Amino acid sequence: MNDNAIRVLGDAVPAAGASLRQGAFALLRHAAVGEHDAALAELDQLFALRGRFHAYPLLLDMVVGKQAWHPSGSLFALGAEPLPPALQAHFEEAIACCASFLELPAPCILLQCRAESRDLHLTMESFPGLAVLRLSTLSPGYPDDLRAVQFHEVAHCFLTCGVRLLDEGLAHFFANRHAGATLPAADMDLLPPMRTLLSRSADSMFGESVDSDLAVYKSACRVGADLLEAIYALGGAGRVTRLFAAVARAGSEAQVVRLVEEASGQSFPAVARSGGPSAGQTALIDRARQAVFTAWINKHPADLDEAIAALEADEIHAEPALLDSLLGARINRALLQVNFATAPTAHELAQLDMLLKAGECLPQGRLWLWRGTHAILMILLARPNIIKVASAGQQAINAFNKAVQLIPNDPDLLVQHASLLLHAPPAYGGDRDLGVSKLRQAMLDPVYREHARQVLLEYGVEMPAEEVVAPAAEQPLDAPPSAPAPALLELSGVELRLSSSFTLRPGALTVRRGERVAFIGRNGSGKSMLMETLLGLRQPDRGTVALHLGDPRDAATRQRIGGLLQGYDLPGQTKVREMMALHQAMYHRTDAAVTRALGLDELRDRYWQQLSRGQKQRVMLWMALAHVPELAILDEPSLGLDEWFARALRELLAALPVTLLVISHAPSDLLGLDRICCLDDGRIVAEGTLASLMAQRVGQFKGVLRQQLSEAALQALRALPALVQAPRERDGAWELFGGAGFDQAFRQFIEQQRVGAFSLEPVSVEDFLADVTQIVPTTGQPS
Q: Which of 123-127, 164-168, 634-638 is predicted with the least confidence, judged by mean pLDDT?
A: 123-127
583 Cβ neighbours under 8 A, 6+ residues apart: 590, 622, 623, 626, 627
Task: Report the relative pairing of strands 701-705 and 728-730 from DSSP bridges.
Answer: unpaired
**What's the CA gap between 579 and 572, in Å, rounded?**
12
Contact 152/172 with Cβ under 8 angstroms? yes
Q: Look at 273 and 426; give whichever has higher pLDDT.
A: 426
pLDDT of res. 458: 65
Task: Report the relative pairing of strands 631-635 and 659-663 from DSSP bridges.
Answer: parallel
pLDDT of res. 478: 46
**What's the CA gap between 340 and 236, in Å, rounded?**
54
pLDDT at 110 over 80: yes
pLDDT in tens, 434-492: 777 777 777 776 666 766 776 776 666 655 444 444 443 434 434 455 567 888 888 88
Contact 545/507 with Cβ under 8 angstroms? no
Q: Look at 391 and 619; give whichever has higher pLDDT.
A: 619
**What's the CA gap between 131 and 398, in Å, rounded?**
28
- Report the sign of the C-alpha dihedral through residues 692, 693, 698, 701, in that order: negative
pLDDT range class, residue 275, cuts 50, 70, 90? low
pLDDT in tens, 702-759: 888 888 888 888 888 888 988 988 888 887 888 899 988 888 888 888 878 878 778 8
Q: Percentage of the chain with pLDDT > 70?
A: 85
| Mean pLDDT over each residue of the chain, to the nearest integer | 80
pLDDT range class, residue 338, cuts 50, 70, 90? confident
Which residues make beta-bridge pairs with 686? 678
Q: Is 711 exposed, middle or buried (0-12, 13-18, 19+ CB in 10 A)?
A: exposed
Instruction: Give the DSSP H or E segment for 285.
Output: helix 279-298
Tally of residues, the chain: 783
pLDDT of res. 779: 34
**What's the CA gap between 99 and 388, in Å, rounded?**
35
pLDDT at 782 over 70: no
Looking at residue 9, its amino acid is L
pLDDT of res. 432: 73
pLDDT in tens, 652-709: 888 888 999 999 888 878 877 889 999 988 899 999 998 889 888 888 888 888 888 8
pLDDT of res. 270: 65
The mean pLDDT of 258-285, rounded to a whole number, is 78
pLDDT of res. 133: 87
pLDDT of res. 70: 93
pLDDT in tens, 542-593: 888 888 888 877 888 888 888 888 777 778 788 899 899 888 888 888 888 8
Contact 592/601 with Cβ under 8 angstroms? no
Predicted model pTM? 0.44
**What's the CA gap between 675 and 662, in Å, rounded?**
11
Instruction: At 45, give phi and psi (nearest 5°).
Output: -65, -40
3-state DSSP helix/strand/coil % of the chain, to nearest 5: 50, 15, 35
**What's the CA gap between 717 and 721, in Å, rounded?**
9
pLDDT of res. 472: 39
pLDDT of res. 145: 82
pLDDT range class, residue 59, cuts 50, 70, 90? confident
pLDDT in tens, 216-269: 788 888 999 999 999 999 999 999 999 998 888 776 777 888 899 999 999 887
pLDDT of res. 474: 39
Would you call 715 helix, strand, or coil by DSSP? helix
Which residues make beta-bridge pairs with 575? 607
pLDDT at 104 over 60: yes
CATH number for the domain running over 699-762: 3.30.70.980
pLDDT of res. 464: 44
Closest CA to 200 of 270, 268, 133, 255: 255
pLDDT in tens, 495-529: 888 777 788 888 888 999 989 999 998 888 888 88
pLDDT of res. 320: 80
pLDDT of res. 16: 47
**What's the CA gap between 756 and 769, in Å, rounded?**
28
Q: What angle do CA 444, 446, 450 make, to 5 degrees?
A: 95
CATH number for the domain running over 487-683: 3.40.50.300
Q: How far is CA 270 from CA 198, 510, 627, 745, in A?
A: 12, 54, 59, 20
pLDDT range class, residue 91, cuts 50, 70, 90? very high
Q: What angle do CA 389, 390, 395 make, to 5 degrees?
A: 95
Where are the chain's structural domains?
A: 1-160, 163-169+176-267, 288-469, 487-683, 699-762
pLDDT of res. 271: 55
713 Cβ neighbours under 8 A, 6+ residues apart: 753
Q: Is 100 exposed, middle or buried (0-12, 13-18, 19+ CB in 10 A)?
A: exposed
The mean pLDDT of 82-104, rounded to a whole number, is 93
pLDDT in tens, 315-335: 776 778 888 888 889 998 998
pLDDT of res. 479: 44
**What's the CA gap between 461 and 442, in Å, rounded?**
15
Q: How far is CA 232 from CA 174, 236, 305, in A?
A: 11, 4, 45
pLDDT of res. 781: 32
pLDDT in tens, 286-295: 888 888 878 8
pLDDT range class, residue 195, cuts 50, 70, 90? confident
